[in-house]
Structure 1
Amino acid sequence: MKIALMARNANLYSHQRIVEAAEARGHEIEVINTLRVSINISSGRPMLYHRLQHPLEEFDAVIPRIGASVTAYGLAVLRQFEVMGIYPMNESVAIGRSRDKLRCMQLLARRGIGLPSTAYTNDPKQAEDVIKLVGGPPVVIKLIEGTQGIGVVLGETMQSAKSVIEAFQGAKVNILVQEYVKAGGMDIRAW
C-alpha cells in the first residue's frame, strides 16, 4: 500500500514512528508537508501537487497529522485527497468537528454523553447571565478553537469571570463558559 503522511515536520518522533511502523509492515510511505501542497479544483480531474511539480495521485491512503495552527488549510488538503478517492485514516469532517469545541459539545450532548453544563453567547452584555446559566462561579472559560489547555481560564468570582468573558468577546474571540467540576487538583480528560 502507498501511504501519504500529511505532516509539517518529518523529524518529529511521532511521525518517524508512523513511518517506521508502515515500512515494517511492507508499506511505502511518503511524508508530505501540508503547507507545500497546492490544490487544483477542477471537474472530473481534481489534483494535489507537492511543491507544484510533484502530483499526489498514486496514494492508496492518507494519514493526516494536522496541527491546530493550520487546521483550515490542512482540512482543505485532506478534503481534496478524499475527493480524489484516497482513503483517509481520519476524515476531514471528523477532524473539523473535533477542533470546534462548540460543535463537538453539541454532538456529544445530542447523543446523551455526560458533559459539564456549558453555555455560549455572542453578547458581552450577557456575561453575568451566562455565568449563572452554568451554575455560577467558579466557571471555566475556554476558547472555542484552543487546544491542549491554551486559552482556558478559571473565573473564580463573578467579577473575574465577567472580566475575562468581556475581554475575550471585546477581542472578537469566541468562547464557551462551563461549570467548574472539582477534580482534586487534577486535569481529568475522559473519552
Structure 2
Amino acid sequence: MNAIFYRLSILLIISIVYFSCRTDHLLSPNIDNPLDEVILSKAKTWYRESSSMPASDNPNDINLKEYIPDWDNFKISHNSVGAKVITIPLNKVKSTSKVIAYYSEIGLVLNKAGVACGMIKEYVGNPYAGETRLNLYSKDGHLFDQGLYDSTTRTFISAVKRRSNTPNSQ
C-alpha cells in the first residue's frame, strides 16, 4: 500500500511541475519597442472608431460602448504566419439582459499596409480550459460568427462549418 501511495505521490508531483512549466509564447509588452508602441496606438485608434459607431438594435450584436479596454494588460503574440497580434481585455461596465461572457477581448493584427484589422471576441465559457463557445463580432459590433474554441489546440471551429459537415445538412 505504501509503494502505491509513494508512486502516486511522485506522479502527482511530476504532473504539477510539468503543467506549471507550460507557458504561452507571448511577448512581454515593451513600450520602449517602437513596433509595440505603433500597434498599441493603432489598437487605441481602432477602439475609438469602433466605439463611436451607433449601437445595433439586434440582441445578438455587442455594444462596444458597454466595455472599457484594459490598456495596461494587453498582450502581444505572433499568429500562425508570424504577424504580431495584440489582444486587449475588455471589462464590462454595465449589465444588460444578455448573457455575460466569461471573458471578452479585442484582437487586432496589422496588415501589410499597416491597417489594423480586428475582431471582438466573447468567450462564453472559460477560454483556458477545454472547449468553450466563442462569439466573434465585427468592428461595428455585429455578430460575425459563432463556434467552439479549443484551448488545447488553440483552434476555432465555426458553427457554420460544423453544420455543413453533418450528414443531414443538405
User: Above 0.5 in TM-score?
Assistant: no
As a proportion of its length, which structure holds more helix? 1
TM bracket (short chain): under 0.3
TM-score, length of structure 1 as denominator length: 0.23
TM-score, length of structure 2 as denominator length: 0.25
